[in-house]
Amino acid sequence: MFPELIILRHLFTVLHGRWEALRADPEAGYSTEAVIVTALLAALALTAVGIIVAKVVSAANNISTTGGGG
């Protein structure tokens, strides 16, 4: 399994636990809201890093290492 997916699975497990805590205690809404926002931002950051890494690796693989010029 990809390491990114393991992190996301753990993140959503924590998020689910916090969501259940919110249902049990409606007064705990702020901390759960903060966890949800943090989880979404972390997921977006992981996605952005994955896209950047894929593009850098792709560009690196396209570099010609055979002699050619000068």
What confidence tens digit (pLDDT) does each residue in 19-70 have? 887 778 766 556 778 888 899 999 999 999 999 999 999 999 988 888 665 5
Q: How many CA atoms lie within 13 A of 39 on its CB side?
A: 19
pTM of the model: 0.49
Q: How far apart are the first and last CA of the chain?
A: 45
- CB atoms closer than 10 angstroms to residue 38: 13
Separation between Cα atoms, residue 39 and residue 46, nearest integer Å: 11
